[in-house]
Amino acid sequence: MGDGFEPEITVLYCGRSLREGVSLPEGVGRGPGCSVRYVMMPCGSKVEVGYLIKLVEHGADGVQLVACPEDQCRFVVGGARAENRVRYAQRLLAEAGMGPERLGMVRRNSLTADDVAALAGERADAVRPLGRNAMSCDRVG
């Protein structure tokens, strides 16, 4: 593992979870003790189990899904659907010995860029004890 391990975290986020006027940087940026890739989704309900697994399969050390609160979802059950999919993907990762901690979800609103970076940092803290993703050889650089 080593003390220099800085997890690569992919943050999938619903645009409705951000404070009005806030935008997140595209591509890979820095977070607290990690590198972060931000990916905006039209709704948390659009995340598929296969996509979550594929992100880990392609080397992400952790994935943090950020969805809007239940009472603010434009698809009414979007957040609940996403929570079920994240829990299922976590079970698959646990069965594969990868650690369910690699995936997480929060439901918040009015987030700033710093708030989302902090959530990425929390996911990094959760995966750091697991070490680098064994599938990280797919990473470039």
Q: Print pLDDT tens along the chain (141 aa).
A: 446 789 999 999 998 899 999 989 888 888 899 999 999 998 888 899 999 999 999 999 999 999 988 777 777 677 788 999 999 999 999 999 999 999 999 999 999 999 999 999 999 999 999 999 988 654 444
Residue labelled with tokens 């609940």: 80
CATH code for residues 8-131: 3.40.50
* Those residues with Cβ within 8 angstroms of residue 123's Cβ, 6 or more apart along the chain or in another chain: 7, 9, 11, 34, 62, 63, 64, 104
Q: Six-digit token pair at 119?
A: 């959530």
Distance between CA atoms of residues 68 and 56, nearest Å: 23
pLDDT of residue 80: 83
CB 20 within 8 A of CB 112: no
Other residues' Cβ atoms within 10 Å of the Cβ of residue 122: 17
With b for 16 or more beta-carbon neighbours within 10 A and e for fewer, the 5-39 pattern comes to bebbbbbbbbebbbeeeeebeeeebebeebbbbbb
The Cα–Cα gap between 133 and 57 comes to: 9
Residue 137 corresponds to which tokens in the numbers above? 């050889």
Query: What pLDDT, on a 0 to 100 scale, did the predictor assign at position 76?
Result: 67
Q: Which residues pair with 34 in a beta bridge?
A: 31
